[in-house]
Structure 1
Amino acid sequence: MAKTQLNVRVDEGTARAARERAVARGISVNRYIEELVRQDTGEAGRTFVDAAADFMKQYESVFAEEFAETRGTDPVEDRL
């Protein structure tokens, strides 16, 4: 993906906080800002929800069996 340079001005406290957070996460300030924007636009959240939905769909029968055993019911009967 091509990169575009943005120049922004922030107060020193904001710049310091961004640097500290990036260092704490082991990433560059640039990457930190990119992640914040992606989170704000919902891209990361949608990706997570889609992956979680796929996971649940793949393992639906396993979960149904496990929770039926916990409740003491038959998962097949529960679906009828």
Structure 2
Amino acid sequence: MAKTQLNVRVDEGTAKAARERATARGMSVNRYIEELVRQDAGEVGHTFVEAAADFMKQYENVFVEEFGTEQEGRR
């Protein structure tokens, strides 16, 4: 993925907190901010849901053979 530079201005307290939290996680401030934005945008959760749906689609027949359909289970 191509990178682009984004300059932001924050107060010193916010900058200090970002540096401290990034260091505590063993990452750069840049990566820390990037991950925060991704989480906020829901990218991580969205990717997980897509992968889970794809998995269920691929293995639907296996689950039906093993466990039956939802209606069969509610007798």
TM-score by length of 2: 0.69
Letter in structure 1 aligned against 2:4: T
State how many pairs are aligned.
Answer: 69
Q: Which contiguous aligned blocks of 4+ residues in structure 1 show a shift greater than 4 angstroms?
A: none
- Percent of pairs with identical residues: 76
Corresponding letter in the other structure for 1:46: H
Match of 2:45 in 1: 45
Aligned to 1:78: 73
In structure 2, the gaps of 5 or more residues are none
TM superposition shift of 1:54: 4.2
> Hey, what does 1:19 align to over in structure 2?
19
Q: Which amino acid aligns with 1:41?
A: A
Q: RMSD across aligned C-alpha pairs, in angstroms?
A: 2.8
1:49-60 aligned within 5 A: 49-55=49-55, 57=56, 58=59
Separation in structure 2 between the aligned mates of residue 22 and residue 54 of structure 1, nearest angstrom: 33
Query: Given the two structures, how large is their TM-score scaled by the length of structure 1?
Result: 0.65
Is 1:9 the equivalent of 2:16?
Answer: no
SS at 2:37 equivalent: helix
